[in-house]
Structure 1
Amino acid sequence: MQEKTKLLEAIAGTNRGLLATEADRVAILSAVEQLEDHNPHPHPLQFQALLDGNWRLLYTTSRGILGLDRFPLIQLGQIYQYLDLINGKLYNVAEIEGLPLLEALVVVGASFEAVSDRRVEVKFERSIIGLQRWLNYQNPTQFVQALELGKKFFPIDFSLDRRESMGWLEITYLDEDLRIGRGNEGNVFILAKEA
């Protein structure tokens, strides 16, 4: 599909949005809107098999996510979102790279509830921050499985105040390997399905 190729070319070289100029952002948003017009699954929440699993972030406009790269001596590694439609759970997993043996992890867990066939209300419930080796981190799937089994991680594993940690996400495009979402703060998220 020509629109999908155009979008992927537009985000190439932007390092998930970290290197995007204002002109890049305008071109990417235009390409997103064109692809959204060709959404093969306009009711994405009906397609559990497509949605469930790990998704790797390709591009975002979220300053909260991109801001993780602004600390000295570290840089933002891969970012994943794990979705479990049946249980209404999602986990955002950000790998932080830095000095050897000091690679870190920032994880936010949330529950969600469908409010339409495209939109979910999200309630952020838990945050975990720590060194990957202390957390025994190997990959997002393994880590999420440990979380789902109720494992607690130290030193920083805390609950979030649900009243102040709510939002929504609307899935505006979904195919077998690409998902586009728009959040309540006006952010755009483009993710690729992990095998």
Structure 2
Amino acid sequence: MPLFGSYLSSSPSRLSIHKQGLTHAVMASLTSLPHLPPFVSHSSSSSCSIRRLCPGKILTVTFMSPRRSRSGKRSLAPISAVDDVSVVDPPPPPRPPSWGDKSELIAFLKLKLLSAVSGLNRGLAANEDDLRKADAAAKEIEDVGGLVDLSVDLDKLQGRWKLIYSSAFSSRTLGGSRPGPPTGRLLPITLGQVFQRIDILSKDFDNIAEVELGAPWPLPPVEVTATLAHKFELIGSAKIKITFEKTTVKTTGNLSQLPPLELPRIPDNFRPPSNTGRGEFEVTYLDADTRITRGDKGEIRVFVIS
């Protein structure tokens, strides 16, 4: 072994020169991989390593400095590059909620629907593109939630529900797809919050709207709450029929001390054909805090429990 014998008899300075030469030789061989510059790192004073980045892996070659054997002689102890190869895989892409976990998926789709209808002023500011996005987001929840059976889940209707979106409001009338006062500059009417109050025992179904009516200067605007009282009945597993009874208007704010005013009901003979006082809609999704309905004129409404 004359070659290693010469190294073993070398001085520490010659061994250091040889170590540097061997390192440069390995680096030169690694530069045959195009556009992959090596990185040299020193973990301690007695070792150095060469690292080359390759697609999908990092190659590391570590060389230990000469050290003494049990006999007291120096020995060159390189570490095999094959033994010190590590593979680093790229991180996996973000995953949507587990499709096997229905509750997690429903929660994800609810947030998606809320994002689609946010900023639309309950639908009054929606354009055609907004209507399509909201409809698609609602359809996803309906598909995952499955068919609604109110004969079993009628108790979930109980309570006060806040309207957060109605596609019918894009018609720019407070009646939605049915006759109602227009919004905008023609009449100084500002729509506030809209609620539905449902009592499954008395079969009461009340639509409640907070409205601000403009007044000539210098009078302040008049704030009122209009309650459109209905009765409801089930006409299918998920379909509801409502029948109008009366409208009550109550002033709020500075005029809250005034008694409520009940508006007389228009006789059926004088009602326009489009306003029969009856309506139907289907509950397409229902849980403890969210409800989606589709009306007999195609409108979509989204409610959250309040």
Is TM more than 0.5 here?
A: yes
SS of 1:159's equivalent? coil
Matches within 5 A, 1:65-144: 65=174, 69-70=183-184, 72-98=187-213, 100=220, 102-132=222-252
Structure 1 letter corresponding to 2:223: E
SS of 1:37's equivalent? helix
Q: Which moved more, 1:102-111 or 1:65-74?
A: 65-74
> Relative CO higher for 1 or 2, CA cutoff 8 Å, sep ≥ 6?
1
Tell me if structure 1 keeps the 8 A contact 2:239–2:282. yes
Gaps of 5+ in 1: 138-151
Q: Deviations over 1:26-45 (max 9, x none)?
A: 01001111111122672135
Q: Deviations over 1:34-82 (max 9, x none)?
A: 1111226721353243211100000002245355533543311000000
Q: Deviations over 1:136-173 (max 9, x none)?
A: 59xxxxxxxxxxxxxx942x422355682111011100
Tell me if structure 1 keeps the 8 A contact 2:293–2:302. yes
Matched, 1:47 2:153: yes
Gaps of 5+ in 2: 1-106, 215-219
Tell me if structure 2 keeps the 8 A contact 1:6–1:31. yes
Alpha-carbon shift at residue 186 of structure 1 (Å): 1.2
Scaled by the length of structure 1, what TM-score is found?
0.80
Distance 1:160 1:107 in 2: 16
Tell me if structure 2 keeps the 8 A contact 1:127–1:160. no
* RMSD across aligned positions (CA): 2.5
Distance 2:252 2:197 in 1: 18
Scaled by the length of structure 2, what TM-score is found?
0.53
The share of aligned pairs that are identical, in percent, is 28
Structure 1 letter corresponding to 2:129: A
- Return the match for 1:181 from 282, 289, 293: 293
Structure 2 letter corresponding to 1:168: E
